[in-house]
Chains A and B, each alone.
Chain A
Amino acid sequence: MIRNRLKEILLKVKKRVFTGNLGNTLSTFKGTGLDFSEIKDYVIGDDVRGINWKATAKGMGVKVNLFNEERELNVVVAYLINGSINFGTKRIKQDAMAEVMGFLSYSALKNSDNLTTVFFDEKLEKLFKPTKKLGVLEDTLGFALGFDALAHEVDYRSFCHFINSSIKKRSLIFLIGDFYGDVDLSSISHKNEIYALIIRDRFEENPTFNGDISLVDPVTFGQDDMSLDKSSLKEYKKLLQKHDEKLYKHFLDHKIKYGKIYTDDDIYIKISQILKG
């Protein structure tokens, strides 16, 4: 079951990333590479191999092509395991998060970046060491899909502590989670470039429960019987919005780029939009 799903995701990821444009993770350093940046006047000392003959032939002096330097990036994909990711209507968030992770990882590996994959809840669950091999994708996806998230809760403080202590190089960090907890990423945001990908299900943001219902907390397993009506659901939406606004403010304050992805979204398109800003 998990195996099939893994293959499905892998296939989807490979197909979309391969046909789509690569290099979402651009470095701003100019140099040798394949990624064309601009045309400039030839100055003595420039590499003659870079002369753009077509532009030169137009008669405005010798022109040289400039490329973005190919630079190895440290990409960290952090999969934040909270009990609440075991929820979803079309598909569970855990699955959607795995797909997000697949896209990011595959793009990074295709770009020959160093990919580190971290699974974290209260503590470090699993760390896949920096690698450039595509084979790691199967392992990470398998772990992401097979992990039982129930009863786990993300501890953001110890997560930051872990990142600071074990990821020494400046990195591009992708956080994948639903960010319902007490999020505080201030201690890792100044050193690294962080993207927070908030995975949500539409139903949890806009539940259409009616009357009496018994709900179980996926972290504490505490059962609560409640009776819901229009006004209380309205109040609920307000509270959730407040929480998200606080979250966004925290992200903005610490220059963390963020984006929300719903489980029924086209994940590839959503990720591209978020990464392009």
Chain B
Amino acid sequence: MLNQIVFEYPWAFLIIIPFIICQMYCKPKMDAIFFPTIKFLKKATKKSMVLENVLKVLTLLFLTTSLASPIIKDEISIKNDKGYEISLIVDASGSMAQNNKFGIVKEILSDFLDKRVHDKIGLSIFGDFAYVAVPLTYDKESIKRLLKRVQVGIAGSRRTALYEALFLSSNLFKNSHAKKKIAILLTDGMNNVDNIHLSVAIKTVKKYGIKVYTVGIGGVGDFDPVVLKKIADESGGKFFQANSKQKLKEIYDTIDKLEKSKIKANKYVKKRYLFAYPLGLALFLTILLLFRKNRELL
């Protein structure tokens, strides 16, 4: 509860600095007279002076606090129909196990996830068959958690259902209202599952207006650059190829830059203003101070 309280205008606390300076250098001018037994008087008034000063300081503190406007932020909601939606399609076929390719890909993907703060992201995995691991969501944490658990061969390790994956993940955007729809297809093999034809997959992609970036990893002959380029070109995306971790990272950075989301996510912050409480306390203390003063005038 308490750690949710934040101050809207924390710089209001700077008022305390001139107060301290004023306490030291600009005391209220009063008529002063010589008095012989000040040491006894000082001793006698010590208690009430301390009390008065504490009251004064507390009053100021509460006033400053209420000026700084403490609030409880209750809820952050983001409007869903704006921003990007990105579908990550990752090859988890047997060949990805070579040279820890899959581990590197996971690492880079999770890095990429951190960068896309305001976007909805989905994750699809394919091997022998394709499946949607995480539908489009803002919840990056759960994607990351799932990404950690994904192993090579989780969707069968012998074949590569590339077109199926593209088709399936395209369907994720069926009910989407996002302005920009992106898919990033990463593979190190050639399609060898025939349940969905390339033209069907591309048609689906086009139907939903998805921009597909294709990334081929591995050496020459591992993947089919012609097909990947075709998919990219037809959907308005781009085709990349990488044979090192460094290169792959660069590719994702490039994609990140190309698709920089300019729209800031609309945040709804439900605020509860708490300034009334310190203000009330300050008022109470002021009255107390006045009452004390009044009592002194016999």
Instruction: Using CB atoms, name the residue of chain A closest to B48.
Output: A232
Q: At the interface, yes or no: A225 with Cβ under 8 Å from chain B? A: yes
Grouping DSSP codes into helix (H, G, I), strand (E, B) and loop, the B interface class, with mixed when no group exceeds half, is helix
The answer to whether A226 touches B296 (Cβ under 8 A) is no
Chain B binder among A116-124, A208-216, A254-262, A266-274: A208-216
**Please, which residues of chain B bring their CB within 8 A of the CB of A139?**
none
The answer to whether A226 touches B36 (Cβ under 8 A) is no
Q: At the interface, yes or no: A86 with Cβ under 8 Å from chain B? A: yes
Count of chain A to chain B residue pairs whose CB atoms are closer than 8 Å in the complex: 101
Instruction: Using CB atoms, name the residue of chain B closest to A86.
Output: B34
Instruction: Using CB atoms, name the residue of chain B closest to A241.
Output: B40
Q: How many residues on B have C-beta within 8 angstroms of the other chain's C-beta atoms?
A: 28
Q: At the interface, yes or no: A233 with Cβ under 8 Å from chain B? A: yes
**Please, which residues of chain A bring their CB within 8 A of the CB of B27?**
225
The answer to whether A226 touches B41 (Cβ under 8 A) is yes
The answer to whether A180 touches B30 (Cβ under 8 A) is no
The answer to whether A211 touches B293 (Cβ under 8 A) is yes
Contact with B along A190-218 (1 / 0, CB 8 A): 00000000000000100100111111111
Contact with A along B19-35 (1 / 0, CB 8 A): 00000000110111111
* Residue in contact with B34 in the complex, picked from A207, A210, A216, A230, CB distance below 8 Å: A216
Known contacts: A210-B297, A210-B298, A211-B297. The answer to whether A232 contacts B36 by CB under 8 A is no
The answer to whether A84 touches B37 (Cβ under 8 A) is yes
Instruction: Indicate the size class of the contact surface on chain A.
Output: 35 or more
* Residue in contact with B32 in the complex, picked from A84, A204, A214, A233, CB distance below 8 Å: A214
CA distance A239 to B28 in the complex (A): 28
Instruction: Using CB atoms, name the residue of chain A closest to B29.
Output: A214
* Residue in contact with B38 in the complex, picked from A178, A212, A224, A231, CB distance below 8 Å: A224
Contact with B along A224-240 (1 / 0, CB 8 A): 11111111110110111
29 interchain pairs, CB-CB under 8 A: A84-B37, A87-B36, A150-B34, A180-B36, A204-B36, A204-B37, A215-B33, A215-B35, A216-B35, A217-B39, A224-B38, A224-B41, A224-B42, A225-B27, A226-B41, A226-B45, A226-B49, A227-B49, A227-B52, A228-B45, A228-B296, A229-B298, A233-B44, A235-B43, A235-B44, A236-B41, A236-B45, A238-B44, A240-B37
Q: Interface residues, chain B, CB within 8 Å of chain A?
A: 27-28, 30-45, 47-49, 52, 292-293, 295-298
Known: A222-B38, A226-B49, A240-B40. 9 other contacts (CB 8 A): A150-B34, A180-B36, A217-B35, A229-B296, A232-B48, A233-B44, A236-B43, A240-B37, A243-B40
